[in-house]
Amino acid sequence: MPIPAPIISGPMAIEKDWIDYNGHLNMAYYNVLFDRCSDEAFELMGMGPNYAKERRLTIYTAEVHVCYVQELHLDHKVNVSFQLIDHDEKRLRAYQEIRHVDGWLAATSESLSLHVDMAGPKVASFPADVMAKVEAMRAIHAALPMPERAGRSIGIKRKGA
């Protein structure tokens, strides 16, 4: 199966219980949407639910940076993308976007994930078969431009500083 570049989920609906008292998608559920797309990408790299169940190896999230760009509401449908922007023998760095099905950007996420041996649990190297799939995805995604919003940090810009 060819690896898409980037991986783009099918349309996802916003669920009623995800809407907060401000009338828009609660911040926690942006991460649910990102996670559902990540699961698709991890499956393509050989690290889906069966990987955890059968091999007792999995992925843990170590760090996430989310930028909320435009509000989402109950009647919206979105697609989520996944781009693998870096990896080493134990870690994955990914960039994701949530876009309304009309194309406008709602949110971005950059994450660092760890490959974990569940027996520890402890961070562990990818097995050779999985590393080959990670490297294949990275090679295909390397042809994409580095996302402009990747590598952002949090700070307050001061006037005259």
Q: Where residue 2 falls among pLDDT bands split at 50, 70, 90?
A: confident
pLDDT value at position 161? 63
Report whether pLDDT(102) > 90.
yes
pTM above 0.75, yes or no: yes
Structure-token pair, residue 141:
């995604």
pLDDT value at position 32? 97
Residues 141 and 83: beta-carbon distance below 8 Å: yes
Tell me the backbone φ, ψ of residue 111, rounded to 5 degrees.
Answer: -135, 155
Q: What pairing do the DSSP bridges indicate for beta strands 91-100 and 105-117?
A: antiparallel
Stretch 69-74: mean pLDDT:
97
